[in-house]
Structure 1
């Protein structure tokens, strides 16, 4: 079997890149029944077409930056001037000459330098967008993976509930068979009705699992063949950053969001776009400066018909355009460029405000979820377990009904389902907070170091 799988893998290596990626994923799921959150995050980043295209866009901008440093091509001209029409002889008239000239236009002001700055800023925008895209991919794929994990764990709880009802049915049948007081056929029917209702719940839960797997499959371009998700690690919950949840909480408490999130990749991309617009504004301002053109020519003359020597001509000239007669047009273009720059600055401030507001919402949500978790773990769970055991003992002594027993047993499962929901919501909230906070410090340090 292993040799057959290896042969199939070797055949797949001849297929296009997209099919290879899918084959690798299938191979991963074949050898490992569980698909971890870390594997999902790595896959979506490694196989994202946008990130692959960003590398090409960055190379294109680097080439454009290099090309912007060069002057425009010189112009070479040649002509025969002052040729007489009564004989077309080259030596008949003294002004007849063969002229070769060259002309070079100089850059207008510092346009070339500013264009280089513009393309350099655009390249940094692409880098910031790539970082932001990779983080966004991890966040969105992680949320879809958590939905699958939650649905799968609910199936586990349904199985536990099924076993619980089976034991309860055995207990009730045993009491009925032994003709213990209080045990009746009605009690058995009550448990069986609860089992039938559980089967409907199991069907709905399985539907949720399949729907969650279908949503997750969009990140792989193929159906998910893994049977279950692996337990998420702390590192994968924090999007691969080397930090614990306690360290993240400390970072959240000690930071000022409206200052910190100026360095978030999403905000940095907009800030760098502002620099692009500033360079475009400076380029428009340079258009108000004169542009110079220098030219030189050499005119060759033949000797006269009587053999007298004729001197050749050398000409050197300078041309300059006068951008002073369309001042209204230039001012309008400068105003438009300035408005675009200010609009980007506004977008940057709005993005920082939005990120800070989102962080505040998530921080309050995490606090509330932690309080609920403590309440359930230290209070409700123990109380409900004690209540269920007490009612079961009361039923055995004919002091409680079977409905009370079933209700108490199912209440335990409901507590477990609520704890599962809280746990998954906490993980999702931590993922969102990691997306906001963890890229900021490293990105800020790299940005400050680059500016220095």
Structure 2
């Protein structure tokens, strides 16, 4: 029976099963810290999972685009607070058309005036706040994007890792089948051998089936690495990824923290309220509240001031005429537009209420996701313990018993083969369960993400 090289990995997983980890405000779930111990060797470079996540984040074009959009929005926020440009009017007034003599009539004058409008209430200040609040969404969206990238890259990386470890397990068992085949071949060719021809054919068939299984696993691994290349290795798609290797470092579990089930509903809701998705809804709600206040400003009048100066020439007798100065104030009277303004205020109020409901919806979805993931992790823990303590030892004992019975001429070769294949499948199943648990931890890490970039009012 092959030496079980998967056990150190399983023991490490089992130690993590009992502990998980709310670390600081960013709530880094232990999966990221632990999985950083798993290096991916690609293009002769040892790359841990945490390094892969960092590379994916640093190379993400969406994050760069988001930063540029934020800069544009904040630039607009500074511009919209300025008053409208003043208007200058220059004119020649009351020119007599019979002679076009500037000095003929006393009312003829050269006029220069400047007028300035003032929007209603605090419209300008509120417009600047609205754009600034819209800009506050972008850091939160980037936080959510980083958390999603971490989850997606972790899932792809773990998939590639599971195929790599499965390949190792199949190779180890293929070596055992080769030794078994040699023993059967030797027994069949020996004059005193007890091996039958069907045993020899069966052993050759199993070797071929293992080779096919290896080819299939290599194909799946290469596909996973190709998919991973879109995040961290853009040039890898032009090369054969089947030679890439993923290995596990031997390291003690560095994780410590609280249990998965220690958070009460209130504590969980308070924690999830800092999730980027929830805070994005908060920002959108703030924007809607500002829209409501802006709509209310339209009940107030707009003001305008006009300053004018009129130059007059001397009269026909040569006496000078006094120049003229004028000042005027204009104000809008929002009477006929009240129905439209009432509708705008009501619509803005309903929009605010809709965001309050949407926030509760997002919180409920995250809380449900948290409960599903923690339940899955606990059940996967039970399955891992069942495999480690009962199933794998039973499979090994069964395989050894079948081999002993066959060597003592008290069993059939097909039972030996089936027992060994069942043992291999059990090891691979345990590996897959362990990898699935890590994937659940990566999803839990996303659910428990907190954003610190924006302080909401």
TM-score, normalising length from structure 1?
0.85
SS at match of 2:273: helix
Residue correspondences, number: 410
Q: Is the 8 A contact 1:78 1:99 kept in 2?
A: yes
Alignment partner, residue 244 of structure 2: 228
Which runs of 5 or more structure 2 residues have no equivalent in the other structure?
1-40
SS in 2 for 1:163: helix
Specify the alignment match of 2:128 in structure 1: 116
Deviations 1:74-104 (A, max 9, x none): 1111111111111111111111111111111
Q: In the TM superposition, what is the alpha-carbon distance from 1:390 to its structure 2 partner?
A: 2.2
Greater share of residues in helix:
1
Farther off after superposition, 195-204 or 409-418: 195-204
Cα displacement string for residues 277-321 of structure 1 (whole angstroms, at most 9, x for unaligned residues): 111121111112100001111111111111222111110110001
Q: Kindly report which structure 2 residues correspond to 1:333-348, keeping only aligned pairs within 5 A, or say none.
A: 333-348=344-359
- Contact kept in structure 1, 2:164 and 2:246, CA below 8 Å: no
| 1:374-420 deviation digits (Å, cap 9, x = unpaired) | 11111111122122222212211111111111111112111110111
- Whether 1:294 and 2:310 are equivalent positions in the alignment is no
Q: Structure 1 residues 260, 63: closer, same or farther in 2, change over 3 A?
A: same
1:223-269 alpha-carbon deviations (Å, 9 max, x no partner): 3555335347899xxxxxxx96542x536522533332121011111
Aligned with 1:41 (options 45, 50, 53): 53
Distance between the aligned counterparts of 2:247 and 2:341, measured in 1? 63
TM-score by length of 2: 0.84
> Secondary structure of the equivalent of 2:157?
helix
With over 3 angstroms needed to count, the CA separation of the structure-2 counterparts of 1:286 and 1:94, relative to structure 1, is: same
Taking structure 1 as reference, are residues 233 and 202 closer, same or farther at Cα in structure 2, changes over 3 Å only?
closer
State whether structure 2 residue 435 is matched by structure 1 residue 419. no
| Higher RCO (CA < 8 A, seq sep 6+) | 2
Q: Which position in structure 1 is the counterpart of 2:329?
A: 318
The verdict on how the C-alpha distance between 1:180 and 1:114 changes in structure 2, with shifts beyond 3 A counting, is farther
Is 2:259 the partner of 1:250?
yes
CA distance in 2, matches of 1:436, 1:234: 29
Over 3 Å counting, the alpha-carbon distance change for 1:48 and 1:211 in structure 2 is: same
How does 1:234-383 map onto structure 2 within 5 Å?
246-247=256-257, 250=259, 253-256=262-265, 257-383=268-394
Instruction: Tell me the residue number matched to 1:393.
Output: 404
CA contact (8 A) 2:42 2:244 kept: no
1:35–1:228 CA contact under 8 A, matched in 2: no
Counterpart CA distance in 2 for 1:380 and 1:104 is 85
224, 246, 249: which one aligns with 1:212: 224
Distance in 2 (alpha carbons) for counterparts of 1:255 and 1:47: 38
* CA contact 2:117–2:304 (8 Å) conserved in 1: yes
Quote the RMSD (CA, aligned, Å). 2.3
Runs of 4+ in 1 over 6 A off after TM superposition: 232-235
